[in-house]
Amino acid sequence: MVKEPSWELYRSFLGVFRERSLSGAARVLGVTQPTIGRHVTELEAELGASLFTRSPSGLRPTAVAVSLVPHVEAMSTAASVLRRAASGEALEERGAVRVTASEMIAVEVLPTALASFREAHARIDIELVISNRTADLLRREADVAVRMVKPTQATLLTRKLGAVHLRLHAAPRYLQTHGAPRTVDELRSHTLVGFDVEPSLRTLPKLPFPIARDLFAFRCDSDLGQYAALKAGYGIGFCQVGIARRDGLVSILHGIGFDLGVWIVMHKDARSSRRVRLLVEHISAHLKAYIATQSV
């Protein structure tokens, strides 16, 4: 029988592929650099193929390595699901729950909800995936997702919690120096904050002025990066009303804005897990309270 490489070898390979260095993979995986190097060498020997070549910018994956990645990522997801499933019995309040949410929700809204959940359920651990990418609940990349776009897959349980309102805001510091625009025409002469490469605003409801990359004097595809610029007084940009109000930002041109729906989602198979159900109900209550602060 042909010997199959162990998951440990593939895990190290995936770490090197993502980090482009042995030292980076060792740091992320919590093992030594020689161990990572040994794993990659062993995997190359067992597969009979070279996986990386050295370059000035780090380790460059070969075509074989690139072809392996989707399959190894599937193995990684399966390993994560197995670990969470084994971390607690379905009917008990213990184990791990993996949650994914967009940057602004995950960083600016969820932490207080997760902290209070921990106080009530000390034996349930939380794994938080902060990403604007839509994690695939069908492949169980996460147990629970907070999404700003409604999922359509029939095997997912979806509950709409309401909607958050986004409006143009600026820091008092910016307005003291530059004043506040009173019309859309005046807005064009101000410093605006928005996206760089990701055309996220193009899919939103029509606004009274065209949205394009060149419109922005500060360009960043991270919502957190844009929000940091707004708070620092860099310029004017869109952000959620509740978060902006909490941090003392000032609303500009009240008639310009749009809503984003908020859904909480879990896989149907997760219904049997008490810890997942508990977290879903807790997050739902917290998000509904947050959405109530969105009055405009």
pLDDT band with cut points at 50, 70 and 90 for residue 1: very low
0.75 exceeded by pTM: no
- Of 242, 206, 274, 217, the C-alpha closest to 104 is 242
3-class DSSP state for residue 278?
helix
* Equal CATH topology for 87-162+261-294 and 164-258: yes
Assign 3-state DSSP to the chain and report helix, strand, coil percentages, each to 5: 45, 25, 30
- Packed helices 33-47 and 7-19: angle between N→C axes, nearest 10 degrees: 110
- Please give the residue that has the higher pLDDT: either 119 or 133: 119
Alpha-carbon gap, residue 148 to 160, rounded angstroms? 10
- Contact at 8 Å (CB) between 124 and 277? no
Task: Report helix, strand or coil for 14.
Answer: helix
Q: Which three-class secondary structure state does DSSP give residue 254?
A: strand
Over residues 252-256, the mean pLDDT reads: 88
CB 174 within 8 A of CB 187: no
Residue-level pLDDT at 196: 86
Q: How far apart are the first and last CA of the chain?
A: 68
CA 229 to chain centre: 19
The β-bridge partners of 156 are 267
The upper half-sphere exposure of residue 11, i.e. CA atoms within 13 Å in the direction of its Cβ, equals: 14
Give the CATH fold of the 164-258 domain: D-Maltodextrin-Binding Protein; domain 2 (3.40.190)
Q: How confident is the model at residue 32 (pLDDT cuts 50, 70, 90)?
A: very high
H or E stretch at 237: strand 237-240
Q: What is the CATH number of domain 7-85?
A: 1.10.10.10
**What pLDDT sits at residue 138?**
47
Dist CA 102 CA 145 (whole Å): 9
In 125-222, which residue ranges form alpha helices assigned H by DSSP?
172-178, 184-187
Question: What tokens appear for 118 in the block?
Answer: 């921990």
Predicted confidence (pLDDT) at residue 61 exceeds the cutoff of 80: yes
Q: How many CB atoms lie within 10 A of CB 212?
A: 12
pLDDT at 3: 65
Residue pair 16/25 in contact by the 8 Å Cβ criterion: yes
Q: Hey, where are the domains in the chain?
A: 7-85, 87-162+261-294, 164-258
Fold designation for 87-162+261-294: D-Maltodextrin-Binding Protein; domain 2 (3.40.190)
Looking at residue 117, its pLDDT comes to 96
Q: What percentage of the chain exceeds 90 in pLDDT?
A: 48
- C-alpha span between 91 and 96 (Å, rounded): 13
Tell how far CA 61 is from the center of its chain. 26
190-247 confidence digits (pLDDT tens) = 999 998 875 554 455 567 777 778 889 999 989 999 999 999 999 999 999 999 999 9
